[in-house]
A and B are shown apart, each in its own frame.
Chain A
Amino acid sequence: MTRPPDLIYAVDEHPPWAILVVSAFQHIGLMAITLIFPIIIAREANLSGTQFLDLVSLSMLGLGVATVCFCIRSRFIGSGYLCGAAYTAIFLGPSLFALRQGGLALVFGMTVVGGVVQVVVAPLLRRLRALLPSEIAGLVIAVVGLSLAGLGVRYGLGINAQQQEINPDYVIVAGISLAIMIVLNIWSKGYGRMFCVLIGMMVGYAGSAVLGIFDLAGIVPEGGLSVVRLPRLEHVGWSFDLVLVPPFAVASLAATLRAMGDVSNAQRINDADWVRPNFASLAGGVSANGVAVMFCGLVGSCGINTYSSSIGLSGATGVTSRSIGYAIGLGFCALAFIPPTAVALAAMPLPVMGAALFFTAAFVFTSGLQMITARMLDARKTLVIGFSFAMAVMADLYHEALMGVPIVLQPIFGNSLVLGTVCAVVLNLIMRIGVRQRASIELAPGRINREAVEQFLSEQGARWAARRDVIRRAIFGVVQVLEVVGDPPGGVEVEASFDEFNLDVRIRYVGAPLNIPERKPTPQEIVASEDGERLLAGYLLRQSADRINARGTGASVEMTLHYDH
């Protein structure tokens, strides 16, 4: 792992206490925006003032526990990276559907089921990587970025399904907040850049108060607020319905992909040499997500997920220390017992939410695009990504029309992220038909042309969408073999075969098999004669390939170089 130069505090570094606390508070402000989803559930369920406040407080507790689970670095749970939690629109569709079918108890019960699905899937991620490649995780992140931007614009302009007229006061507050975030992020250094979102949000709160948008009265219960209060579980109960398993399982799959994308993004932000995700960290992140979703269901809240905006914020500010994750977790757990903060966060003015969402969406969206394009895109992947992206956008554009599908399919077609994810997974499965491919090149005696080999492997690599670094290693391997083999009388045949996870190159010729030593030759051995150089060549081949094998039949030799992909 190579530390990127623009990070101020990397994942394993501990910032000073003051920076830790303010950074955590900044994330808390950003994450609190997503309390909108449990609030929507609470409003749809017509909860009373106290029960409403209980649900918000318990949801804050859920954010705290989930963030700690995501950030832990252990063998079974946690991604090991700064990774905030968020309530998400992914579970909103299935949850509202469950609410209509069986009330809050069914929402909470099925949320627990959703968590179980993720816990079961987490250890299988490596085996399922053919079905869930990193470009699909990138697609999910890009769609999340678009959704966040859309939500940000809606909140910033003060429009919704009933109110289509732009509210000028909202535009002023959102505009000022957003401008401050941008100016501080681009043209300032140190504290300004680190706390750009928090400062922008605070100015937005002040502006909202001046313009009368910040209204606490509407959310404070009739009996007033105590400073410290243990949230009650009066509204909590659990029930289950088999019919709701498919939509919640699909939502869990989408949440899993988003968690994979977010954790991959956190890995990429912390490693300048990142080319592929670390699956142990991904599995830890997804199992943490499952545990967190189960916890939220058990305490009476809705489905939770990793938060792309929080990771986008850490990338934008250059502060990615895992310690901040623990501080966020502790902070939310403490704030859950202080009702005035729950009220202040639950009453966050919409234009302030809009500005913060729109700002972080830019980082989330571009991170998704970077993950998609980290691999070469062949026609199959282009169709998978292109169609799925288009479907995700269409789910928002033609929402009303798509909601005409049968009720069981509504949670899929009613949510851009879920539809895009399902489309990508299904198309990816279909496109895997006939994915193993082979190609070969014959090099005639006297015409052992290394440039032809390089061109052959580069072109095949592009056609197969193979990773550039793997193709580079394969080119080195073949050229190195040819260099030692020289110009055998019958020429050389190079055959490459590829699927998503393996690249095998077979080199066939007539002659002596290569010596592939396990021990590195000494400098004296290398310098002494050209035999020493051959030993070094064999050793380099062993080191550069993931597996190497030389097999002789009579005078014919077949060298196989295997590369994991």
Chain B
Amino acid sequence: MNSLSIGETHAGNVCIVTLSGRIDSSNANDVMAELTRLISSGEKSILVDLSAVLYLTSAAFRALLVATGKAKQQAANFALCSLAGQVRELFEMGGLLELFAIHNSREEALKQLGGPILRAP
């Protein structure tokens, strides 16, 4: 119930990773592994869409921070978008907003990252 699903699509040169459900210690390593794999495979712009994430814990923040560090090493762009509800509250509460490149919407992020504008599914 509400388990994590990871979707992947491309918009121009931007790889969009859509996370849905809950991210905690039971599945944060899957997120970290997938993001690390994409960065290692040579993706130069990765956008993580969090609009469908219901909930996350410290394990999820660590996974995203590890991916951010890896992207920096590989000179790749790594950004998050569409933080809403409790997810945004947790970012704000932990003072974690400034640790990531965060965009309000997928469209805004794609404009910044250089991909074509797509409608969110």
Tell yes or no: B25 within 8 A of A by CB.
yes
Tell yes or no: A527 within 8 A of B by CB.
yes
Contact of A479 among B57, B94, B99 (CB under 8 A): B57
What per-residue 1/0 map shows which CB atoms of A508-531 lie under 8 Å from chain B? 000000000000100100110010
Evaluate contact between B59 and A533: CB separation under 8 angstroms.
yes
Tell yes or no: A451 within 8 A of B by CB.
yes
| CB contact under 8 A between A483 and B24, given known A472-B86, A527-B69 | yes
Evaluate contact between B61 and A483: CB separation under 8 angstroms.
no
Contact of A536 among B25, B58, B66 (CB under 8 A): B58
| CB contact under 8 A between A539 and B57, given known A523-B99, A527-B66 | no
Tell yes or no: A246 within 8 A of B by CB.
no
Contact of B58 among A450, A483, A527 (CB under 8 A): A483
Evaluate contact between A476 and B90: CB separation under 8 angstroms.
yes
Complex Cα distance, B69 from A453, in Å, reads 34
Evaluate contact between B58 and A523: CB separation under 8 angstroms.
no
| CB contact under 8 A between A451 and B24, given known A480-B57, A532-B62, A540-B93 | no
| CB contact under 8 A between A483 and B62, given known A451-B1, A476-B90 | no
- How far does the Cβ of A75 sit from chain B's closest Cβ, in whole Å? 28
Complex Cα distance, B40 from A449, in Å, reads 35
Tell yes or no: B95 within 8 A of A by CB.
yes
Complex Cα distance, B58 from A91, in Å, reads 56
| CB contact under 8 A between A540 and B90, given known A483-B24, A483-B59 | yes
Complex Cα distance, B24 from A121, in Å, reads 48
Tell yes or no: A556 within 8 A of B by CB.
no
B93: A residues at CB distance < 8 A: 540, 543-544
Complex Cα distance, B69 from A472, in Å, reads 31
Most chain A beta carbons < 10 A, residue from B24, B25, B58, B94: B58
- How far does the Cβ of A519 sit from chain B's closest Cβ, in whole Å? 11
Complex Cα distance, B60 from A536, in Å, reads 11
Main secondary structure of the interface of B (DSSP, over half): helix
Closest to B56 in A: A476
Tell yes or no: A537 within 8 A of B by CB.
yes
Evaluate contact between B58 and A543: CB separation under 8 angstroms.
no
| CB contact under 8 A between A480 and B58, given known A520-B95, A539-B94, A540-B93 | yes
Complex Cα distance, B28 from A527, in Å, reads 13
B66: A residues at CB distance < 8 A: 527
A472: B residues at CB distance < 8 A: 86
Complex Cα distance, B61 from A532, in Å, reads 11
Interface size on A, residues (CB 8 A): 22
Evaluate contact between B94 and A526: CB separation under 8 angstroms.
no
Evaluate contact between B61 and A536: CB separation under 8 angstroms.
yes
Tell yes or no: B65 within 8 A of A by CB.
yes
A526: B residues at CB distance < 8 A: 61-62, 65
- How far does the Cβ of A409 sit from chain B's closest Cβ, in whole Å? 49
Complex Cα distance, B95 from A526, in Å, reads 14
Evaluate contact between B58 and A540: CB separation under 8 angstroms.
yes
What per-residue 1/0 map shows which CB atoms of A435-469 lie under 8 Å from chain B? 00000000000000011000000000000000000
Residues from 61 to 119 in B contacting A, C-beta threshold 8 Å: 61-62, 65-66, 68-69, 86, 90, 93-95, 99
Residues from 391 to 438 in A contacting B, C-beta threshold 8 Å: none
Complex Cα distance, B28 from A536, in Å, reads 15
Complex Cα distance, B55 from A515, in Å, reads 23
Contact of B25 among A483, A520, A527, A539 (CB under 8 A): A483
Residues from 16 to 75 in B contacting A, C-beta threshold 8 Å: 24-25, 55, 57-59, 61-62, 65-66, 68-69
Listed in ascending order, the chain A residues whose CB lies under 8 Å from chain B are: 450-451, 472, 476, 479-480, 483-484, 520, 523, 526-527, 530, 532-534, 536-537, 539-540, 543-544
The 4 closest A-B pairs by CB, nearest first: A537-B58, A536-B58, A533-B62, A543-B93
Listed in ascending order, the chain B residues whose CB lies under 8 Å from chain A are: 1, 24-25, 55, 57-59, 61-62, 65-66, 68-69, 86, 90, 93-95, 99
Given contacts A451-B1, A483-B57, A540-B94, 18 further A-B contacts (CB under 8 A): A450-B24, A472-B86, A479-B57, A480-B58, A483-B24, A523-B69, A526-B65, A530-B62, A532-B62, A533-B59, A533-B62, A536-B58, A537-B58, A540-B57, A540-B93, A543-B94, A543-B95, A544-B93
- Interface pairs (23), CB distance under 8 Å: A472-B86, A476-B57, A476-B86, A476-B90, A479-B57, A480-B58, A483-B24, A483-B57, A483-B59, A520-B94, A520-B95, A523-B99, A526-B61, A526-B62, A527-B62, A533-B62, A536-B61, A537-B58, A540-B57, A540-B58, A540-B90, A540-B93, A540-B94
